[in-house]
A and B are shown apart, each in its own frame.
Chain A
């Protein structure tokens, strides 16, 4: 199955960009907060095409009114969003963040704090950052550029972003605004549309086999009988990604072809 990539010249990174962009399709007038290169390109692509009402930031304290290339300065500022307003905005729910994940499990619990025992970690990472507040207040998706059994684990070492089982356990205050629609990796797109909200394979990127995904996943993944391919980018979408949003090809450094 090496279909799409070779026939149309679409790279894996570009399928990932389109898959990330799709996360924001029906978001409406909210802030898109992408963490990582491919989600950043995806959010800008969504804004330039099917989700024009999205709010974007310059990665610092400004809401931008235009859609500059990655790394370029915005020419139009439409708002001010310093860190403390950003944290307050999360509580209003008008935001859909796509975070990274050092580890993620089958219920959508995410870890970016540390690997190993928290008291004395084998490998210290960033810390919990805003994952707990994000997952309980606004829509939270995840992006994992290197899908492997080390990232997709049976149980995360420290629950930073709260998954479906842990939210349910914590009660109605935790589930009230909890919503983790999807996980995008370099191999496919995953959601939690199963009776027990465990992770399900929604689509595989062209060139990827189901076996490959199962082998790279450290827990029992729900796999439907028919697994569709992640959709092809439209010609205009490819042009926007290649010429307007990411002319320097940063996407290929995050997801090599």
Chain B
């Protein structure tokens, strides 16, 4: 069977400017941040980003890589507003397709099931219909004749997700309490890349948890990257919680251009190894 292990740089090498890119996780939880950081080091741009947004959206927006954002929100969870996202919106930096959380889920589901759309009640009466003039309604062909929103499929060129474990073939496992929508992102995408805390042998996948934690099947995965602490600073429980101190520092820096330049130079100017070393140094400073 094919070994799909690769580096974050190799994953980014498969991405092209202008692509529609789905990013797994939710808010500031289990985001494939190491892959995002690798993406930031490349010249891939002009992206349509599809995400339950967190700092993935913030970082890509700050770097000017987003042409269109498809999202129901962007937040850091314990910090309500994502400062790069809000600033980018306020300066009109990208186009926004603002969907309701459930509409977004059914859009991904439609793409995964190769349907053009799925009918939902959500959206009717709200300004989601107004700010997305491309949205259409559909009338039930049955006796009820209900008029519902036809959420178009959110088809992705590529998906990036981060999980706790994976085997070299791409079977991937989450060990936390919530799968989020990561399998759906992979199923909705033409190509999917899984980063994980640790790559293990297939035979070892069930040593830590039951078979229902095997979220993603290898048939939907094109590349596997081992990136310990690769969701940092978002949460990836039980391997690590959100790094609240670092997130605070990120949010503070993001609210000020000069501070952001300093933050960016310190943490984002090198490779992933340099990033993790800088984070370690940051925490040692906090201690002293």
Best-surrounded residue of B120, B121, B130 (most CB of chain A within 10 A): B121
Chain A residues bordering chain B, tally (CB within 8 A):
46
Shortest CB-to-CB span from B73 to chain A, Å, is 3
| Residues of A close to B124: CB separation below 8 A | 132, 136, 162, 167, 170-171, 173-174
What total count of A-B pairs have CB within 8 Å?
Answer: 141
Name which of A20-28, A39-47, A83-91 contacts chain B: A83-91
Residues B126 and A128 in contact, CB atoms below 8 Å apart: yes
A196 to B177 CA separation, bound complex (whole angstroms): 44
B71 interface residue, CB < 8 Å from A? Answer: yes
CB <8 Å contact, A132 and B177: no
Distance, CA A130 to CA B98, complexed state (A): 11
A170 and B26 contacting across the interface, CB-CB below 8 Å: no
Q: Is the Cβ of B80 less than 8 Å from the Cβ of A126?
A: yes
Contacts of B271 in A (CB 8 A): none
Type the 1/0 row for B112-137, where 1 means its CB is closer than 8 Å to any CB of A. Answer: 00000000111111111011000000
- Please tell me which one of the listed residues B75, B98, B105, B178 contacts residue A113 in the complex, with CB atoms under 8 A apart: B98
Partner of B126, one of A114, A159, A172, A173: A159
Partner of A122, one of B90, B99, B120, B125: B90
A118-152 interface code vs B (CB 8 A; 1 in, 0 out): 11111111111111110111000000000000000
Task: Tell me if B177 and A61 are in contact (CB < 8 A).
Answer: yes
Contact B90 A166 (CB under 8 A): no
State in angstroms the CA–CA spacing of A119 and B126 once bound together. 16
Q: Are B121 and A174 touching (Cβ within 8 A)?
A: yes
B90 surroundings in chain A (CB, below 8 A): 120-124
Across the interface, do B121 and A173 meet the contact criterion of CB distance under 8 Å?
yes
* B179 beta carbon closer than 8 Å to chain A: yes
Interchain CB contact under 8 A, B147 and A124: no
Check if A82 sits within 8 Å of B126, measured CB to CB: no
| B255 contacts the other chain (CB 8 A) | no
- Per-position 1/0 for A174-214, Cβ under 8 A of B: 10110000000000000000000000000000000000000
Q: Does A80 have its Cβ within 8 Å of any Cβ on chain B?
A: yes
Contact yes or no, A133 B122, CB < 8 A: yes
A128–B102 CB distance below 8 A? no
How far does the Cβ of A219 sit from chain B's closest Cβ, in whole Å? 18
The count of chain B contact residues (Cβ–Cβ below 8 Å) is 44
Q: Mark A83-121, 1 if CB is under 8 A from B, else 0.
A: 110010011000000000000000000000110001111
Within 8 A of B (CB), among A44-78: 60-62
The residue on A at minimum CB distance from B179 is A82
Check: B86 CB closer than 8 A to any chain A CB.
yes
Q: Once the chains are docked, how many angstroms separate the CA of A91 from the CA of B105?
A: 13
B92 to chain A: which residues have CB within 8 Å?
119-120
Question: Contact at A132–B131, with CB atoms within 8 Å?
Answer: no
B270 contacts A by Cβ under 8 Å: no
Bound complex: CA of A254 vs CA of B126, how far in Å?
A: 29
Give the docked Cα–Cα distance between A169 and B89 (Å).
30
Chain B, residues 51-64, CB within 8 Å of chain A (1/0): the string is 01100000000000
Q: Does A16 contact B (CB under 8 A)?
A: no
CB of B177 within 8 A of CB of A126, answer no
Nearest-CB residue, chain A, relative to B140? A173
Contacts of A177 in B (CB 8 A): 121
Whether a CB of chain B sits under 8 angstroms from the CB of A13 is: no
> In the bound complex, do residue B128 and residue A128 qualify as a contact, i.e. CB atoms below 8 Å apart?
yes
* B127 pairs with A118, CB closer than 8 A: yes
- Identify which of B52, B71, B120, B179 contacts A133 (C-beta below 8 A): B120
Q: Are B86 and A124 in contact (CB under 8 A)?
A: yes
A119 to B121, alpha carbons, bound, how many Å? 25
The answer to whether A137 touches B73 (Cβ under 8 A) is no
Distance to closest chain A CB from B235 (angstroms): 10
The CA of A32 and the CA of B220, in the complex, are separated in Å by: 36
Q: Are B121 and A121 in contact (CB under 8 A)?
A: no
B127: chain A residues at CB < 8 Å are 113, 118, 158-160
Report B-chain residues with C-beta under 8 Å of the C-beta of A136.
121-125
Task: Assess whether B100 is in contact with A128, with CB atoms less than 8 Å apart.
Answer: yes
Query: Which residue in chain A gives the minimum CB-CB distance to B177?
Result: A61
Decide if B101 is an interface residue (CB 8 Å cutoff): yes
**In whole angstroms, how far apart are the Cα atoms of A189 and B248 in the complex?**
35
Assess the B128–A83 pair: CB atoms within 8 A: no
Task: Name the one of A62, A90, A124, A170 contacting B125, with C-beta atoms under 8 angstroms.
Answer: A170
Bound Cα distance A76, B122 (Å): 33
How far apart are the CA atoms of A122 and B121 in the complex, in Å?
A: 30
Taking the closest CB of chain A, its distance from the CB of B105, in whole angstroms, is 5
Q: Which 5 A-B pairs have the closest CB atoms?
A: A127-B73, A133-B122, A170-B125, A133-B102, A61-B177
- Could you show 22 A-B contacts with beta carbons less than 8 Å apart? A80-B177, A82-B180, A83-B180, A114-B89, A120-B91, A121-B89, A124-B90, A126-B73, A127-B75, A128-B72, A129-B100, A130-B102, A131-B126, A132-B124, A133-B101, A133-B102, A160-B127, A161-B126, A169-B125, A171-B124, A173-B147, A177-B121
Which B residues contact A (CB, under 8 angstroms)? 26, 52-53, 71-75, 80-81, 85-87, 89-92, 98-103, 105, 120-128, 130-131, 146-148, 177-181, 184
